Amino acid sequence: MKATRRNVLALVVGAAASGALPAGAQTGNEPGDLRAGLNSADFDQVWELVRDRFYDPSLHGLDWQAVKSRYRPQAIAAGSREEAAVVINAMLAELRASHTHYYTPEDPAYYQLADIFAGALEHHGLRRLFPNSEVAYPGIGAFTEADGQGSAFVTGVIEGAPAHQAGVLVGDEILSADGRPFRPVDSFRGKVGAPVSLQIRRASGAAPIAISVTPADLNPEEMFLRGLKASARIIAAGDKARIGYVHVWSYASRRYQSALEDLIGEGPLKDADALIWDLRGGWGGAQPQYLDLFNPRAPTMQVKDRNGETGLVDVKWRKPVAMLINQGTRSGKEVLAYGFKEYRLGELIGQRTEGAVLAATAFLIGDDGLLLLAVEDVLVDGKRLEGVGVEPTIEVAFDSRYAAGADPQLDRAVQLLAGS
């Protein structure tokens, strides 16, 4: 756990370009006896890790042995890996704790968390799953949420990723992929570099439209880093106002903060009159000191080497700034939101954050599972944000379903800063 402390607030190599499953992973279609055995072993491993490593030794007052007795028969009887995962997650939900969830290779989060916690997992089987030591998966770079009716809604589109390039918008309902039910990973296995036809509905009750998207082999850290850089832009507002905008999808590496500093210190956001810092969706992992970016009482240094190359040290933003937050703002990002609000650095615009502020690490489960488990409690300035979240200073409701690219939270931030 201590070895992964830089990642504990994050809320987890490489599949071939063909879109194959990680080496050694099960397909989920094993014979019944084998499937039951795999389910049993995975369930027991998860149950034992919770017993031994969960941050609260009392397990929130649960009789953990009784919980096992209720759920284990269901897990063993599950006919597929996905059905077993549903049972395991139902058991974990009884803990009522954030950062405590079981993932399979059918979920992009499995790969994203494996990449986030790669350092901790490297000596515990990660190389067996990803022999080339690079976590990757076939996908299009969009966050989606299943509606329980066979469709999925797009909740986030990472700038520069295949979905963004194809014109997929937040709020789109994905009905199918190449005529089959949409799956965020399986729909693109074996199709990297080849066009896939998505049937989407952009407005409630509207006829479906087709969008052709070409999936890629995605490395999570590089995808989020490229997305951050590609999101940076200037929004013209009013007669003269130039509002900078940047979306930080993940903070689970110091590279993201360094990229943000470059963008505002010497990059395209340098000459903006104000800044919109978008922390909606994605992953956490941020450290409290990242707020020093907005400290007006500390200097910035410029250094130059003998070849004339220059660089900035301790970049500062001393112009107006607003932060965008929503229910998908979680973990270390919530710590930033708390400090941003508490120390009056600017307005928080949007909706209350998730309230998921426990420290976690990841464990590989069996041949094809990953457990994210809360292993430390967290207080921020002595206050508990877990289960509470951070309220915005300016509330702007936003149901993104069928939004068709509209973003009232961003619009409100632009309006506010243009008048500042």
> Residue 181's CB: how many other CB atoms inside 10 A?
13
- d(C-alpha 200, C-alpha 211), whole Å: 7
Q: Is the pLDDT of residue 4 over 60?
A: no
Per-residue DSSP letters for 327-387?
Answer: TT--THHHHHHHHHHHTT-SEEEES-------EEEEEEETTTEEEEEEEE---BTTB--TT
In tens, the pLDDT along 188-232 reads 999 999 999 999 999 999 999 999 999 999 999 999 999 999 999
- d(C-alpha 126, C-alpha 81), whole Å: 19
237 and 175 housed in the same domain: no
Tokens for 197, please give them.
């036809």
Query: Would you say residue 373 lies in a domain?
Result: no
Q: With 0-12 CB in 10 A as exposed, 13-18 as middle and 19+ as buried, what is 380? A: middle
319 and 395 housed in the same domain: yes
Q: What is the mean pLDDT of residues 365-383?
A: 95
User: Pick from 105, 129, 153: which residue ends a domain?
Assistant: 129
43 and 120 housed in the same domain: yes
Q: What is the mean pLDDT of residues 291-311?
A: 79
Q: Is the pLDDT of residue 36 over 90?
A: no
* pLDDT reported for residue 216: 98
% residues pLDDT > 70 (the chain): 90
178 and 196 housed in the same domain: yes
315 and 393 housed in the same domain: yes
Residue 319's contacts (CB-CB under 8 Å, 6 or more residues apart) are 272, 273, 274, 275
Q: Does residue 261 sit in helix, strand or coil?
A: helix
- d(C-alpha 151, C-alpha 404), whole Å: 16
Q: Does residue 83 sit in helix, strand or coil?
A: helix
pLDDT band at 314 (very low <50, low <70, confident <90, very high): confident
Query: Would you say residue 227 lies in a domain?
Result: yes
Alpha carbon distances (Å) from 365 to 91, 105, 193, 351: 16, 12, 31, 35
Q: Does residue 159 sit in helix, strand or coil?
A: coil
Query: Would you say residue 209 lies in a domain?
Result: yes
Query: Would you say residue 360 lies in a domain?
Result: no
78 and 211 housed in the same domain: no
123 and 28 housed in the same domain: yes
pLDDT band at 296 (very low <50, low <70, confident <90, very high): confident
Tell me, rounded to whole angstroms, the distance of Cα 184 from its chain centroid.
14
Q: Is the pTM of this model over 0.75?
A: yes
Q: Is the pLDDT of residue 419 over 90?
A: no
CATH of the domain at 287: 3.90.226.10
282 and 399 housed in the same domain: yes
279 and 406 housed in the same domain: yes
41 and 71 housed in the same domain: yes
Q: Across all residues in the chain, what is the average pLDDT?
A: 90
- d(C-alpha 402, C-alpha 388), whole Å: 28
Query: Would you say residue 41 lies in a domain?
Result: yes
210 and 228 housed in the same domain: no
User: Pick from 129, 161, 178: which residue ends a domain?
Assistant: 129
Tokens for 38, please give them.
């795999």
Query: What range defines the domain where residue 205 resides?
Result: 141-218
Query: Would you say residue 193 lies in a domain?
Result: yes
Q: Phi and psi at residue 217, in whole multiples of 5°?
A: -85, 110
User: Pick from 183, 218, 253: which residue ends a domain?
Assistant: 218
Domains: count for the chain: 3
* pLDDT reported for residue 55: 98
Strands (E), 109-195: 137-139, 142-146, 152-157, 173-177
Q: Phi and psi at residue 101, in whole multiples of 5°?
A: -160, 150
285 and 404 housed in the same domain: yes
Query: Would you say residue 359 lies in a domain?
Result: no
Q: Is the pLDDT of residue 237 over 70?
A: yes
Query: Would you say residue 235 lies in a domain?
Result: yes
* pLDDT reported for residue 7: 41
In tens, the pLDDT along 246-277 reads 999 999 999 999 999 999 998 999 999 999 99
Q: Which amino acid belongs to residue 136?
A: A
Q: Does residue 73 sit in helix, strand or coil?
A: helix
CATH of the domain at 178: 2.30.42.10
% residues pLDDT > 90 (the chain): 77
pLDDT band at 32 (very low <50, low <70, confident <90, very high): low
